[in-house]
Chain A
Amino acid sequence: MTTDLFEYVLRIGDDALIAAQRLAEWSTRAPEMEEDIALSNIALDQLGVARAMLTYAGELEGAGRGEDDLAFLREDREFRNCLLVELPNGDFAVTMARLLFLSAYQGSLYDGLVGSADGRLAGVAAKARKESAYHVDHAAQWTVRLGDGTAESHKRMQAAVDDLWPYTHELFGSDAIVSGVAEAGVGVDPASLREGWTEAVSSVLDEATLTRPADGWAPGGGRDGLHTEHLSYLLSEMQVLHRAHPGASW
């Protein structure tokens, strides 16, 4: 059970960590200064969840690994994040589509975890759900404006939604680990979140005059450590300082 919980907490933490790293790539590069600050704020929210989760995962593992060890000293195959968060940022539309899909999922996950029998998970979730609500709102505002905007912005927003849609299926995948922690009242089975997620995302896409893509190809593997090549490049940039100067601090 503890091993399963370690894996489960790692998945939540890694989703948040990799999402934070991708969002941080927008710093100094966002289309407007105000948006730059907004994306950095969201990245820091994600990082906050990642730190809490990786710290807890290290304690559950009981092998003396802390948040930094888990973040900076694991190889790509040891990461448990979904593929959606590791994909490149693309243009602003891709970033907003990803943020919409991811934060709608994270929000409903945290809503469920607030009632977890595990006090640590419930505590982090209670704080994170409010942050997620804001992330969803931010992504929805831009999805609607770009989707229901000019011909060019509509085209690019629709392309972003189409490109990322296949990667949303992995968010709701079940396996022995999640069903185990869900049965114990500690975790949430992601499959149970799918209906609410689809409803929430569809209503944003409708308002944005975008077409919800058909379900088909469903890439996965992230929860088992099988990632796209993009994760390796992300990790090498994220980990280089820590690996070059182990234990470096400000």
Chain B
Amino acid sequence: MSATSERAAERVNQEASSQWPLWEVFVRPRRGLSHSHVGSLHAPDAEIALRNARDVYTRRQEGVSIWVMPAAAITASSPDEKDAFFDPAADKVYRHPTFYDVPEGAKYL
């Protein structure tokens, strides 16, 4: 699909709602670190979302790289599932690498 017809398709999708779709923004503060979620914003399409993210979230040199993704594309765990999802990990201390002797001279462990 050409960029023009993609835009046309997005416009059709938006006609149902008067508000621009929501996008989640991820910023990498500097090389070597991973992108972190910093917030969200509204934009009519991905290119504008990226530019809005630049203006809203990197005005004070917060980053060197930005990702945006449609909020609708995220599948999130539900608060109702919290117990089933996370509690079983609470009593499994053997999953932590704490039963090894740290060799002498090994730093930063």
Residue positions of B touching A, CB distance < 8 A: 4, 7, 11, 20, 41-45, 47-48, 51-52, 55-56, 59
Closest CB in chain B relative to A157 CB, distance in Å:
14
Q: How far, in whole Å, are A194 and B11 apart by their CA atoms in the complex?
A: 35
In whole Å, how far is B11's beta carbon from the nearest beta carbon of chain A?
7
Q: How large is the interface on A (under 10, 10 to 19, 20 to 34, 35 or more residues)?
A: 10 to 19
User: Contacts A145-B7, A148-B4: A37 and B56 contacting too (C-beta < 8 A)?
Assistant: yes
Instruction: Let me know if A34 and B47 touch, CB within 8 A.
Output: no
Provide the residues of chain A in CB contact with B55, threshold 8 Å. Answer: 34, 37-38, 41
Q: Given A41-B59, A141-B48, A148-B7, 13 other A-B contacts at CB below 8 A?
A: A32-B20, A34-B41, A34-B42, A34-B43, A34-B52, A35-B52, A41-B55, A137-B51, A141-B47, A145-B7, A145-B48, A148-B4, A149-B11
> Is A212 engaged at the interface, CB distance under 8 Å to the other chain?
no
Q: List 10 A-B contacts (CB under 8 A).
A: A37-B55, A38-B55, A137-B51, A141-B47, A141-B48, A145-B7, A145-B45, A148-B4, A149-B11, A150-B11
Name the B residues within 8 Å of A149 (CB-CB): 11
Contact: A32 with B42, CB < 8 Å?
yes
- Which residues of chain A are near B20, meaning CB under 8 Å? 32
- A138 interface contact, C-beta 8 A: yes
Contact call A141/B51, Cβ cutoff below 8 A: yes
Which residues of the partner chain B approach A32 to less than 8 Å between Cβ atoms? 20, 42
